[in-house]
C-alpha cells in the first residue's frame, strides 16, 4: 500500500472538518479578512493535497518546504498590525538606527539621537495604532495606507542603542527590508511591512539552506521552522528571527558533521561553521552550548585529523572572543545590578547573584515554584499558543497545541526516512545543550527582570527555547518506538494543516472586537 493511499481517508476526514471549521469561524465573524484568510488557507491545502496525491515523496522536496515557509511567513507578516508583536517598537527603531548608521545614510547625530521620518514616528505614536489587535487596528491600515510618502526627517532619541546590545548580525533581513522601503520613498505602513518581509525572507533563506544541507534531522528543521511562534518571530523586527535562523543552520552543520561521509569535513565546512558560530554565540550567550557541540564531531569525519583538532581549539577561541567583544558589558550588568530599577510602572531591586548564592533555600524554592507554576506556559509559548502581547482573547486553548506536540514527538522516533541516531553520550550532550540554554534564559530573567521580593521568576517565555529546540528533539531520538511512515511527509502535512486552522481562528477572533 502506497503512502498516498494510506493517507487518503485522513485527507477526506480533514477536508470535511476544514469545511465545517471554516463555516463556523466565518459565521462567528463574517468579515472580508476572515474570508480572505480562509481562501488563502484553502489554496495552500489544495496545493499540498495535489502534490501528495501525485507522489507523497514530493513533500520531501526542499522547494515544497521553501514554498510553504514563504507562504506562511508572508501571511504572518500581515495578520499582525504594526507594533502588535512584543517589543516591536524597540526592535523597529533599533533597525531604523542600524539603517541610519550605514555609511551611505549617515543619519546618526550622536550616541542617543538619530533621524527618522515624521510619518514613521506618527505611525508609532499616533492614536491609530495599538498593541491590542482588534478590528480597529486592521481598519486603520486600510484607511491610512499610502503607498508613497517621504516625510520630513526629525531627531529621535526615545531609545538608546549600541552595537553590543542589538544583535546586529541577527537583524540583517529587517535592515535590508527597511532600507529598501525608505529608499523607495514608501509610506509609513508599506515601509514598515518591508522591514518585516525582509526579516521573513532572510529567515526563509536560512531555514531552506539548513534543510538542503542537512543529511539527517530534516523533520526537526521542518517542525521548528513552521511552528506558529517561529513564524510569528520570523515575520517581525525581533532579532529572535535571525537567532533561530542561525541556530537551524548550525544544527544542519552538526548533522553533516555527525552523519556525513568519512573525511567529508574540509576547510570550507570548518570555516563556515566557525562563521555561523561567531554569529550565533554573541547574540545570546546561553546558546553557546549549541555551538560547542561541534567539539564532539568525530575526528574521523575531518579530511585531516590534525586539522580537526586545531579547528576545535579555534572554535573555543572564536566563541570566547566573540562573546567578550560583544557581550561582556551586558553580562557584567547582570552580575552587578543597580540599587534601583524599574519594570513597567514598578520600581524595586532585582535579584543579584549574591541573593541567589547566599540564600540557597529561597533560591531552590523560587526555581522549582517557577517550574511548577509556569511549566505549561513555557511549552505552550514555545509552540505558539499566545502570540502578540499575550492578548487574553487571542490565547489558544491547550488542545490546539496537542497536535503540534504530537508532531514534535514524531521528530524523536525511528521512521522510514530518519533511521539515524546519535551515540548515547552525544544524545546526552545535545539534551544538556538545550538544558543549558533553557536554564540560562531562566537565570537571565531571574537576575534581569525579577524583583528580589517575588516568589516566581518573571519574564521567561517559551520563545527563548526555540533556537535550542532542534538539539533537544534530535537528542531525544529513541528506538523504543517506531513510526512506520515518512516523518518528513507527516510533519510537513500535519503542521501545515494545523497552521491553516490556527490562522483562520486567529483572524476571526482578532477582528471580532
Report pLDDT digits (tens) over 445-477.
Answer: 999 889 999 999 999 999 999 999 999 999 999
pLDDT at 129: 59
Characterize the bridge pairing of strands 478-483 and 413-415.
parallel
**Are 93 and 235 in the same domain?**
yes
Residues near 484 by beta carbon (within 8 Å), at least 6 away in sequence: 415, 416
pLDDT at 326: 67
DSSP 239-303: THHHHHHHHHHHHHHHHHHHHS-TT-B-HHHHHHHHHHHHHHTTT-GGGHHHHGGGGGS-GGGBS
**Are 34 and 97 in the same domain?**
no
Residue 341 pairs with which residues in a beta bridge?
348
Residue 465 inside a domain? The answer is no
Q: 63: burial class by Cβ within 10 Å (0-12, 13-18, 19+)?
A: exposed
**Are 157 and 95 in the same domain?**
yes
Of 245, 270, 302, the position where a domain reaches its end is 245
- Find the radius of gyration of the CA atoms of the chain: 23
Residue 217 inside a domain? The answer is yes
Q: Whole-angstrom Cα distance, residue 233 to residue 198?
A: 12
Residue 326 inside a domain? The answer is no
Residue 14 inside a domain? The answer is yes
Of 185, 216, 245, the position where a domain reaches its end is 245
Characterize the bridge pairing of strands 108-110 and 113-117.
antiparallel
Residues near 420 by beta carbon (within 8 Å), at least 6 away in sequence: 216, 259
Bin 468: left if φ > 0, else alpha if -120 < ψ < 50, else beta. alpha
**Are 83 and 224 in the same domain?**
yes
Phi, psi of 451 (to 5 degrees): -70, 150
Task: Supply angle C-alpha 184, 190, 191, rounded to 5.
Answer: 55
**Are 133 and 37 in the same domain?**
no
CB–CB of 475/430 below 8 Å?
Answer: yes
pLDDT at 1: 47
Q: Whole-angstrom Cα distance, residue 412 to residue 434?
A: 15
Residue 180 inside a domain? The answer is yes
pLDDT at 24: 96
3-state DSSP call for residue 8? helix
Structurally, the chain folds into a number of domains equal to 2
**Are 86 and 223 in the same domain?**
yes
Q: Long-range contact list for 332-339, CB < 8 A, 24+ apart?
A: 333/448, 334/444, 334/447, 334/448, 335/447, 337/447, 337/448
Residue 191 inside a domain? The answer is yes
Phi, psi of 370 (to 5 degrees): -65, -45
Q: Whole-angstrom Cα distance, residue 236 to residue 192?
A: 10
**Are 225 and 146 in the same domain?**
yes
Residue 144 inside a domain? The answer is yes
Phi, psi of 86 (to 5 degrees): -50, 130
Could you list the residue range(s) of the whole structural domain that residue 488 is in? 1-60+481-513
Residue 342 inside a domain? The answer is no
pLDDT at 477: 92
CB–CB of 253/471 below 8 Å?
Answer: no
Residues of the chain with pLDDT under 70: 1-7, 127-129, 326-346
**Are 177 and 104 in the same domain?**
yes
**Are 172 and 137 in the same domain?**
yes
What is the per-residue burial (b if ≥16 Cβ within 10 Å, else e) of 171-201? bbbbbbbbbbbbeeebbbbbbbbbbbbbbbb
Nearest alpha carbon to residue 95 among 13, 173, 19, 183 = 173
Q: pTM of the full predicted structure?
A: 0.94
3-state DSSP call for residue 344? coil
**Are 112 and 158 in the same domain?**
yes
3-state DSSP call for residue 483? strand
**Are 55 and 84 in the same domain?**
no
pLDDT at 128: 56
Amino acid at each position: 500500500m502506497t503512502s498516498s493511499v494510506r493517507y487518503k481517508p485522513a485527507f477526506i476526514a480533514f477536508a470535511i472538518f476544514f469545511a465545517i471549521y471554516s463555516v463556523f469561524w466565518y459565521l462567528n465573524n463574517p468579515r472580508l479578512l476572515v474570508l480572505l484568510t480562509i481562501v488563502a488557507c484553502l489554496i495552500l491545502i489544495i496545493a499540498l493535497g495535489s502534490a501528495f496525491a501525485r507522489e507523497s515523496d514530493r513533500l520531501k522536496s526542499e522547494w515544497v518546504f521553501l514554498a510553504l515557509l514563504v507562504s506562511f511567513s508572508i501571511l504572518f507578516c500581515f495578520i499582525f498590525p504594526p507594533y502588535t508583536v512584543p517589543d516591536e517598537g524597540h526592535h523597529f527603531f533599533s533597525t531604523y538606527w542600524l539603517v541610519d548608521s550605514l555609511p551611505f545614510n549617515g543619519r546618526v547625530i550622536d550616541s542617543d539621537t538619530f533621524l527618522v521620518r515624521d510619518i514613521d514616528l506618527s505611525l508609532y505614536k499616533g492614536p491609530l495604532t495599538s498593541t491590542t489587535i482588534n478590528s480597529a487596528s486592521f481598519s486603520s491600515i486600510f484607511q491610512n495606507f499610502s503607498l508613497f510618502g517621504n516625510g520630513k526627517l526629525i531627531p529621535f532619541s526615545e531609545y538608546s542603542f549600541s552595537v553590543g546590545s542589538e544583535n546586529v548580525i541577527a537583524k540583517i533581513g529587517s535592515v535590508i527590508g527597511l532600507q529598501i522601503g525608505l529608499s523607495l520613498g514608501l509610506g509609513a505602513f508599506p515601509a514598515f511591512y518591508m522591514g518585516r518581509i525582509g526579516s521573513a525572507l532572510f529567515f526563509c533563506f536560512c531555514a531552506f539552506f539548513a534543510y538542503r544541507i542537512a543529511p539527517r534531522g530534516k523533520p526537526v528543521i521542518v517542525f521548528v521552522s513552521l511552528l506558529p511562534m517561529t513564524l510569528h518571530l520570523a515575520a517581525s523586527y525581533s532579532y529572535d528571527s535571525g537567532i533561530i535562523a542561525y541556530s537551524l543552520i548550525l544544527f544542519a552543520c552538526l548533522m553533516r558533521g555527525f552523519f556525513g561521509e568519512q573525511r567529508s569535513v574540509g576547510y570550507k565546512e570548518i570555516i563556515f561553521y566557525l562563521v555561523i558560530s561567531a554569529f550565533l554565540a554573541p547574540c545570546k550567550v546561553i546558546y553557546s552550548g549549541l555551538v560547542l557541540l561541534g567539539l564532539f564531531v568525530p575526528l574521523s569525519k575531518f579530511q585531516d585529523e590534525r586539522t580537526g583538532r586545531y579547528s576545535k581549539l579555534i572554535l573555543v577561541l572564536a566563541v570566547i572572543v566573540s562573546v567578550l567583544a560583544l557581550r561582556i558589558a551586558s553580562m557584567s550588568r547582570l552580575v552587578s545590578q543597580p540599587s534601583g530599577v524599574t519594570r513597567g510602572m514598578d520600581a524595586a531591586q532585582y535579584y543579584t547573584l549574591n541573593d541567589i548564592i547566599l540564600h540557597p533555600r529561597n533560591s531552590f524554592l523560587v526555581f522549582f515554584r517557577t517550574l511548577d507554576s509556569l511549566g505549561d506556559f513555557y511549552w505552550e509559548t514555545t509552540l505558539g499558543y499566545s502570540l502578540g502581547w499575550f492578548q487574553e482573547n487571542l490565547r489558544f486553548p491547550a488542545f490546539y497545541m496537542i497536535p503540534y506536540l504530537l508532531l514534535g514527538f514524531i521528530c524523536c522516533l525511528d521512521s522510514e526516512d530518519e533511521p539515524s541516531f546519535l551515540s548515547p553520550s552525544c544524545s546526552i550532550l545535545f539534551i544538556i545543550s538545550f538544558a543549558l540554554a533553557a536554564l540560562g534564559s531562566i537565570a537571565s530573567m531571574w537576575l534581569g527582570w525579577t524583583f528580589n521580593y517575588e516568589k516566581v521568576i518573571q519574564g521567561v517565555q517559551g520563545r527563548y527555547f526555540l533556537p535550542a529546540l532542534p538539539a533537544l528533539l534530535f537528542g531525544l531520538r529513541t528506538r523504543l518506538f517506531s513510526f512506520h511512515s515518512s516523518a518528513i511527509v507527516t510533519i510537513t502535512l500535519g503542521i501545515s494543516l494545523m497552521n491553516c486552522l490556527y490562522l483562520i481562528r486567529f483572524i476571526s477572533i482578532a477582528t471580532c472586537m
